[in-house]
Amino acid sequence: MSATAAALRPAEANDPACAHCGAPTPRGGRFCCTGCAAAFETIQGLGLGRYYRQRVLDPDRRAPRPDDGAPRRDLTAHVVSQPDGTQALSLAIDGLQCGACVWLIESVLARDTRVLTGRVNMTTRRLRLVWRGAAEDAAALVGRIEALGYRLIPFEPGALAAAQDRRGVELIRALGIAGFAAGNVMLLSIGEWAGLMQDMGPATRALLHWITALLALPAIVLAGRPFFASAIAVLRRGRTNMDVPVSLGVLLVAGISLADTFADGNHTYYESALMLLFFLLLGRVLDHRARFRARATAEQLLALRGAMVTVRLADGTLEPRRPEAVAPGEHVLVGMGERIGIDGVLEAGETTLDASLVSGESLPVAASAGAAVFAGTLNLGPPITIRATATGGATLLAECARLIEAAEARRGRFVLLADRIARGYVPVVHVTAATAFAGWMLAGATTGQALLIAAAVLIVTCPCAVALAVPAVQVIAASRLFRAGILLKSPTALERLAEVDRVVFDKTGTLSEPALALEPVAEADRPALQEAAAMAVTSRHPLARALVAAVGPVAAADGVTEHPGQGLSCGAARLGSAGFCGVPGGQGSELWFTRPGHAPLRFGFVERPREDAAAVVATLARLGLAPLVLSGDRPGAVERLARAVGVAQWEAGLSPPGKLARIEAMAASGHRVLMVGDGLNDGPALAAAFVSASPASAADISQTVADLVFQGEHLAPVTRALTMARRARRAMRQNLVLALGYNVVMVPLAAAGWVTPWLAAAAMSASSLLVMGNSARLWRVRW
């Protein structure tokens, strides 16, 4: 049986460990998956089996044991107990440099039987850890990763932002040192080069070499600290990362130059070592800034959740608290210009709110007593009082942060491809550099020349561009969509959206407004409409709410009694169905209002298309995505709305199983369907579709099964998500081609001796910046 075939067999609890990663394998097989089979065969083919077994497959060699007396950190305060009994912890990783680091950490965690999820996000440098057991096990699990040379700290937005700021300052300081020293050493080198053509004496040349050494060596030590510290930390624990070959390259160049200085040689390469560090640091600084921008959206959400709120107590006193300390039902005072920290209902006052963070709508919205407000919304008007309905992790803002984090942390097809490419880089880099050194020595080159070529190979083959190729696109696309009011819930939603060839809409609440609209009322009947609205204020019936919404703020009438399923009464006045009001007949969506001495008055309601529904349908047609309406409503109502928005194909009277069967039939015929729905009856169809979307006003079950949820009152997020998905797929493919093409071109050139170490550093940094720059174009996507 081949390794690939064995990898495809189902695993069982008593199966042996995978020969590559140690996970349970199918009975009779050596590997748990095709990826492990391919990686194992590659490593064996390179003759690196022993290296792999000693350095990677046995991560417990130096890991502290529970009984070894090693000090343990108490992380239980940061552990979150899940409803299913598992424990979860989010950690920030210091020292994460490349895709090989991600693979190493995840491989070690996968071998622990307690761990259910151990996922590292390369772009945000965040580890999401879920395990089965006690909260106290966190210290042991974290210890396994720290034994690899990484430092893990609980993920806290404030502390993480401060740490990132310090990291940025350190990188800029090192960049300044490298740039200053490189410029001065280059000036001294110009004098040396000019002297070679003018019979410079050996004593003068030696003096210039020593002055250059005194200036360059301290600068190399100071500017190279970010790389040297990381390399030393992992080597002490018997590991390696991409800072090891980079450090070796710098030290090789500096060592060769120092040896030539002591030997009074004709050439030194201090300027190459400094230029190498300068370009590497320049790439790190720009990459650090690009990553910071890419992860800013989710971290801003988490930071907003931590802002203090002001609680008004029963005796009128004000008490500042953290949002999670506010209990539902308590009253929170929000001043002008202050951001709301809890979900709730506006108790008193009228104001204007900036809800762009929540809904994606750029225009401020008016809010009055009774309006629902959400955490993250900015109060632009006078102070208001809010009665809390959800706080802490139960708010919409917290859910947004969780959805973004989940979308970033999980993996799609392109991510798995990039990870598979990056994971074998470190041993391959070392073998390639050693082969280049040996080949040039056999070809008659001097030891110094061969070492310089090996250093260039070590530097030019850094897999940073490959590791960033897909995560950078995913994070930027998810952040860009969130700012447009679109939340991605599935890790593969972007990839599947890009492949959609058919779009199906539900009618009610999706193509149409969630609430019915009141038909025009004659001016002479406006006073009666006001009276009816005063009665309807106390009811939660959809038609009553639509009536009140059409009239606007109105004081509630006294003595109103609700008769379930019939209507409202207030003295002799009645508001409700035709039968309840004593009116013969009656049809459609309507309310009747009767009072003594007045003729019965009918208030009719119509289903109104969403404001931009027709424009969205036209855009989908231009994209080659013919829309279809599937509805359970009456044929006349469905046809009327479909014509209003420009949809030519529609089907009415469908039950939930009928919608499901229709979606499955389209899938069987080869279509990849995007289903957009909001009702309870849309749940099965949403789950069966290739990819699905729901508005924020949808039923809970629809939002649960949907791959993305969009905010606001418009349908434009549907076309925006499709546009972004297609752009993101194109950017992922471009990034992988750029990253792999760079290595295909540069590695042979470096091995052939045509690339100096400093030029290798410039090329390596340029490849990473090219990938980040190509990904950053998604910020400028126009809707």
- The pLDDT-based confidence of 99 (bands split at 50, 70, 90) is low
At residue 50, does pLDDT exceed 50? no
* Domain assignment present for 285: no
pLDDT digits (tens, 9 = 90+) for 192-245: 766 666 677 788 878 888 998 999 999 999 998 888 888 887 777 676 666 777
Same domain, 490 and 639: yes
Same domain, 621 and 720: yes
633, 635, 641, 646: CA torsion to nearest 10: 130
The total domain count for the chain is: 5
Residue 317 corresponds to which tokens in the numbers above? 């006193």
* Domain assignment present for 331: yes
CATH for 494 = 3.40.50.1000
Biggest distance spanned by C-alpha atoms of the chain: 121
Mean pLDDT (whole number) for 448-466:
75
Q: Catalytic residue at 506? A: yes
* Cβ count within 10 A of residue 691: 26
Look at residues 409, 439, 457 and tell me which one is the last residue of a structural domain. 409
CATH for 578 = 3.40.1110.10
* Domain assignment present for 563: yes
- The pLDDT-based confidence of 604 (bands split at 50, 70, 90) is confident
Same domain, 524 and 489: no
* Domain assignment present for 173: no
Look at residues 606, 641, 663 and tell me which one is the last residue of a structural domain. 606
CATH for 392 = 2.70.150.10
Same domain, 618 and 690: yes
Same domain, 692 and 665: yes
Residue 591 corresponds to which tokens in the numbers above? 């309310």
* Domain assignment present for 38: yes
* Domain assignment present for 639: yes
The parent domain of residue 568 ranges over: 517-606
Same domain, 550 and 497: no
Mean pLDDT (whole number) for 36-61:
43
Q: What is the DSSP secondary-structure string of 306-319?
A: TS-EEEE-TTS-EE
Same domain, 630 and 641: yes
> How many secondary structure helices (H) and strands (E) does the chain include?
28, 27
Same domain, 633 and 707: yes
Rounded distance between C-alpha atoms, residue 12 and residue 26, angstroms: 6
Look at residues 573, 591, 606 and tell me which one is the last residue of a structural domain. 606
**624 to 499, 621, 628, 718: CA distances (angstroms):** 12, 5, 13, 14
Same domain, 621 and 682: yes
Same domain, 596 and 482: no
Same domain, 325 and 402: yes
Between 296 and 651, the higher pLDDT residue: 651
Q: HSE, CB side, 13 Å, CA atoms: give it for residue 674.
A: 26
Most confident of 55-64, 448-457, 713-722: 713-722
Q: What is the pTM of this model?
A: 0.54
Same domain, 566 and 675: no
pLDDT at 296: 47
pLDDT digits (tens, 9 = 90+) for 398-425: 665 554 454 444 444 544 554 455 455 5
Residue 177 corresponds to which tokens in the numbers above? 């040192």
Catalytic residue among 343, 506, 633, 682: 506
At residue 740, does pLDDT exceed 70? yes
pLDDT digits (tens, 9 = 90+) for 352-399: 777 655 544 444 677 878 888 888 777 877 788 889 888 776 676 666
